[in-house]
């Protein structure tokens, strides 16, 4: 009886199935990122399957090159998704992921390892440009936020999955398991519909109607399907009234303001401290374990952080529709900022030989990662997809992710030298201040987008802008 209700008319089960399959490449991408932690330790050890251990320089290139490749691929994937469809773009992304795992299985030469990691950059760009957009365009407003957060849940689950099997299985067994994920996705996704918005754009109205009917578990003659089709068609006609150019986003006041919000939210997430914290997690864990007797291997450290990430992303998916985007983003920004300032203070006290609890770095580390996966990262992606129409959505996601990729690359490249030069506590204070400023920005500038149409969101933007202008004029 319950199973019947699950697939009954008006059910959202097909949207959930489609969203899960849309985000399956993200699981593979998360595994690709997680692969670095246990496998570089193995490849640099005396028991390396290569025979000759990797050098630090080779490992650095393996870690950094996906972010370099991601920069141009963000725009390329956005163009492919807009020209040939979200569905084809997603299949291409999975094929690139499969090629990466096949290359790692085929050769252990340095060139093959670096090229395989470069292909991860293609998957990375696709996962954070196409998947959030695709998910948004197949979801009802009532579950749009929850399904939008799946991208982070699948990413963190992929990380944790690889951390665990990386500690249990052999090098080749891990690769074969990882190869099955994109392979299964390519086969299964052939049966999924393309985005109704894309189908309307291409003039395939009947196909769009069929896709909407399937997604809503109803018939093509259903009034809700027709209403949704009218909304999409109206949005498309508004977009077609002028030829698209990137310049429009900066000329139009509303679009410029929306783009500013999308860019600020994405970049604030990148400099919230999560990226360098994950990178230097081993050092902080080692410092924390000196006085407590807590001894964790690098893989166990990664598993702990991976578990915290998954818990955070599960929380985001479950509460985002109840709490709204704005409260969740504000709370996680505030808590993350406080935790980074506390961590900076711990390092400062250590430099002055002042006693401080040795468990504090471990706690602040977990809090930072939890805030990132439960609010900062998923909400930044959901917001960017919700405040733009189909016409601009792909380009906006691509350009903001391009900036994010460059920021990640620069952090990985320069964080440690700068930390050595000015003190690591300065870096964490900087991250904390950015997060606290972000919390203020959320309260003053960012509108709530939960279960709201684009027209209402833009009206809210105008109201906020008018209030700020009035305050500047009156000086109050």
Query: How far is the C-alpha of 125 from the C-alpha of 74, rounded, in Å?
Result: 5
Domain-located, residue 198:
no
Say if residue 93 is in the same domain as residue 128. Answer: yes
Euclidean distance between CA atoms 368 and 427, whole angstroms = 14
Residues 87 and 144 in one domain: yes
Percent of the chain whose pLDDT exceeds 70: 86
Instruction: Calculate what percentage of the chain has a pLDDT beyond 90.
Output: 18
> Which residue range is the domain that position 221 belongs to?
207-241
pTM of the full structure: 0.76
Residue 68 confidence class, pLDDT cut points 50, 70, 90: confident
Q: Higher confidence at residue 217 or residue 283?
A: 217
Kindly state the tokens that stand for 183. 């392979």
Same domain, 233 and 336: no
462 and 327, same domain (yes or no): yes
State which of 166-170, 293-297, 415-419 shows the largest mean pLDDT: 166-170
Residues 228 and 249 in one domain: no
Is there a domain that residue 2 lies in?
no
201 occurs within a structural domain: no
Kindly tell me if the per-residue pLDDT of 141 is higher than 80.
Answer: no
List helix spans (H) across 271-387: 274-279, 281-289, 298-323, 325-351, 360-371, 377-386
**324-373 confidence digits (pLDDT tens):** 788 889 999 999 999 999 988 988 888 788 877 877 887 888 888 888 88
Q: What angle do CA 421, 424, 429 make, to 5 degrees?
A: 120
Query: Do 376 and 305 form a contact (C-beta atoms < 8 A)?
Result: no
Residue 74 Cα distances to 119, 123, 124, angstroms: 13, 10, 9
User: Are residues 179 and 211 located together in one domain of the fold?
Assistant: no
Q: What's 25's domain CATH number? A: 1.20.1250.20
233, 250: one domain: no
Residues in the chain: 476
The label of the residue with tokens 């920069």 reads 71
Q: Could you give the CA distance from residue 201 to residue 143 in angstroms, rounded to a whole number?
A: 24
- 143 and 228 both lie in a single domain: no
Residues 234 and 252 in one domain: no
> What's residue 52's pLDDT?
82
| Average pLDDT over every residue of 234-249 | 66
- Domain membership of residue 457 (yes or no) is yes
Residues 162 and 222 in one domain: no
- In this structure, the answer to whether residues 234 and 344 fall within a common structural domain is no
> pLDDT by residue (tens digit) across 407-457?
887 776 677 677 778 887 888 899 999 999 999 999 988 888 877 777 788
Q: 173 with 23: CB under 8 angstroms?
A: no
Measure CA 329 to chain center.
14
Structural domain total, the chain: 3
* pLDDT value at residue 184: 95
Same domain, residue pair 212 and 249? no
Residue 95 maps to a domain:
yes
- Specify the pLDDT at position 180: 95
Asked if residue 266 belongs to a domain, the reply is: yes
Per the domain annotation, does 200 fall within a domain?
A: no
Has residue 178 been placed in a domain? Answer: yes
Cβ atoms of residues 220 and 209 within 8 Å: yes
**With contact defined as beta carbons under 8 Å apart, do 15 and 138 qualify?**
yes
Q: Which of 192, 216, 232 is the last residue of a domain?
A: 192
The pair of structure tokens assigned to 317 is 């998916």
Q: In the prediction, which pLDDT does 356 show?
A: 77
For position 472, what pLDDT does the model report?
A: 47
- Residues 94-135: tens digit of each pLDDT: 999 999 999 999 988 888 888 998 999 899 888 888 888 888
Question: With b meaning 16 or more CB within 10 Å and e meaning fewer, what string describes 352-373?
Answer: eeeeeebebbbebbbbbbbbbb
pLDDT at 463 > cutoff 70? no
At which residue do the structure tokens 């959030």 appear?
132
């Amino acid at each position: 009886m319950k199973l019947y209700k699950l697939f009954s008319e008006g059910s959202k089960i097909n949207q959930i199935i489609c969203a899960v399959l849309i985000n399956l490449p993200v699981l593979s991408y998360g595994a690709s990122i997680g692969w670095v932690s246990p496998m570089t330790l193995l490849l640099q050890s005396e028991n390396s399957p290569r025979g000759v251990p990797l050098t630090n320089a080779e490992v650095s290139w393996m870690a950094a090159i996906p972010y370099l490749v991601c920069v141009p691929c963000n725009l390329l994937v956005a163009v492919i998704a807009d020209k040939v469809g979200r569905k084809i773009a997603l299949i291409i992304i999975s094929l690139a992921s499969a090629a990466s795992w096949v290359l790692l299985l085929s050769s252990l030469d340095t060139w093959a390892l670096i090229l395989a990691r470069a292909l991860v950059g293609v998957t990375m760009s696709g996962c954070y440009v196409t998947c959030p957009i695709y998910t948004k365009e197949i979801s009802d407003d009532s579950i749009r936020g929850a399904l939008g957060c799946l991208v982070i849940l699948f990413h963190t689950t992929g990380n944790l999955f690889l951390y665990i099997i990386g500690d249990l299985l052999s090098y080749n067994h891990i690769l074969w398991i990882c190869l099955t994920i994109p392979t299964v996705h390519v086969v299964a996704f052939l049966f999924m519909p393309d985005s109704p918005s894309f189908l309307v754009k291409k003039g395939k109205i009947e196909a769009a109607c069929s896709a909407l009917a399937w997604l809503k578990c109803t018939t093509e003659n259903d009034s809700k399907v027709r209403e949704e089709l009218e909304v999409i068609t109206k949005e498309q006609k508004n977009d077609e009234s002028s030829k698209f150019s990137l310049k429009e986003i900066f000329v139009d006041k509303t679009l410029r303001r929306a783009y500013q919000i999308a860019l600020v939210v994405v970049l604030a997430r990148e400099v919230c401290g999560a990226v360098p914290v994950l990178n230097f997690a081993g050092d902080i864990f080692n410092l924390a374990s000196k006085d407590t007797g807590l001894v964790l291997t690098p893989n166990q450290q990664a598993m702990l952080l991976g578990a915290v990430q998954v818990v955070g992303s599960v929380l985001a998916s479950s509460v985002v529709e109840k709490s709204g985007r704005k409260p969740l983003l504000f709370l996680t920004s505030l808590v993350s900022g406080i935790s980074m300032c506390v961590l900076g203070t711990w390092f400062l006290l250590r430099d002055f030989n002042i006693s401080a609890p040795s468990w504090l770095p471990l706690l602040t580390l977990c809090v930072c990662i939890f805030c990132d996966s439960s609010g900062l990262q998923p909400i930044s992606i959901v917001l960017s997809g919700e405040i733009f129409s189909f016409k601009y959505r792909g380009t906006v996601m691509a350009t903001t992710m391009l900036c994010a990729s460059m920021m990640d690359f620069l952090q990985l490249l320069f964080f440690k030298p700068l930390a050595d030069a000015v003190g690591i506590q300065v870096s964490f204070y900087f991250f904390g201040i950015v997060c606290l400023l972000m919390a203020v920005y959320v309260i003053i500038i960012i509108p709530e987008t939960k279960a709201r149409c684009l027209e209402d969101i833009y009206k809210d933007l105008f109201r906020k802008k008018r209030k700020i202008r009035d305050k500047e004029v009156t000086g109050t």
